[in-house]
Amino acid sequence: METTLAVLGDGGRYATRNMNSRVMPFEPLWIAPQIPGYRPCGTTYGSFSPDDLPPLPKRETSMHDWLSSLPNIRLSGKPLTNHTVDGIRSRREWSGFARSKLVDRSKAIGAPPPQDFLDFVFDVENVLRFRSPTGCHFTLPDRPIHDLCQPGAYFVRFLDDSQDCVHWYLYVEPDGQSSIAAAWGYDHWMETDLGVDIEDDQITEIEYASTDLASCASSIDEFLRRYWIENEIHFRLVTDDWTLTPEMNDYVNHYKNPA
Residue 188 pLDDT > 70:
no
Q: Band of the pLDDT at 121, cuts 50, 70, 90? A: very high
Lowest-confidence region among 81-90, 130-139, 182-191, 244-253: 182-191
Assigned domain for 117 exists: yes
pLDDT range class, residue 20, cuts 50, 70, 90: low
- The 8-class DSSP code of residue 56 comes to P
Helix (H, G, I), strand (E, B) or coil at 155: strand
* pLDDT of 24 strictly over 50: yes
Q: What is the distance between the alpha carbons of residues 77 and 86, in angstroms, rounded to a whole number? A: 18
Q: Answer whether residue 198 is part of any domain.
A: yes
Indicate whether 11 pLDDT > 90.
no
Number of domains in the chain: 1
Q: How far is CA 16 from the centre of its chain?
A: 18
Q: Is residue 98 part of a domain?
A: yes
Instruction: Give the separation between CA 233 and CA 208, rounded to whole angstroms.
Output: 33
Burial class (CB in 10 A: 0-12, 13-18, 19+), 33: buried
Beta-carbon contacts of 191 under 8 Å, excluding residues fewer than 6 positions away, are: 145, 157, 198, 203, 206
Closest alpha carbon to 158 in 99, 111, 206, 105: 99
Question: 5 in a domain, yes or no?
Answer: no
Does any domain span residue 259?
no
Q: Does 155 reside within a domain?
A: yes
Please state which of the ranges 11-25, 36-50, 165-179, 209-223 shows the lowest mean pLDDT: 11-25
The neighbour count for residue 61, using CB atoms within 10 Å, is 10
- Positive or negative, the Cα torsion across 238, 46, 229, 153? positive
Share of the chain above pLDDT 70, in %: 75
Angstrom CA distances, 107 to 18, 100, 200, 218, stand at: 30, 11, 20, 21
Alpha helices in the chain (DSSP H): 63-69, 73-76, 85-107, 115-121, 124-127, 188-193, 220-238, 246-256
Q: What is the pLDDT of residue 85?
A: 55
**Can you give the pLDDT at residue 81?**
56
Residue 199 has pLDDT above 70, yes or no: no
The pTM assigned to this predicted structure is 0.84
Q: Which residue has the higher pLDDT, 116 or 198?
A: 116
Does 1 fall in a domain? Answer: no
**Which pLDDT score, from 0 to 100, does residue 145 have?**
86
In a domain, 4, yes or no: no
User: Of all residues in the chain, what percent carry a pLDDT higher than 90?
Assistant: 50
Condensed to tens digits (0 to 9), the pLDDT of residues 83-119 reads 555 567 788 888 999 999 999 999 988 999 999 999 9
| Rounded average pLDDT over 245-256 | 95
Instruction: Check residue 78 and give its pLDDT.
Output: 63
Predicted confidence band of residue 77 (pLDDT cuts 50, 70, 90): low
Q: Is the pLDDT of residue 190 over 80?
A: no
Nearest-angstrom CA–CA distance, 172 and 159: 16
> 82: domain range?
10-253
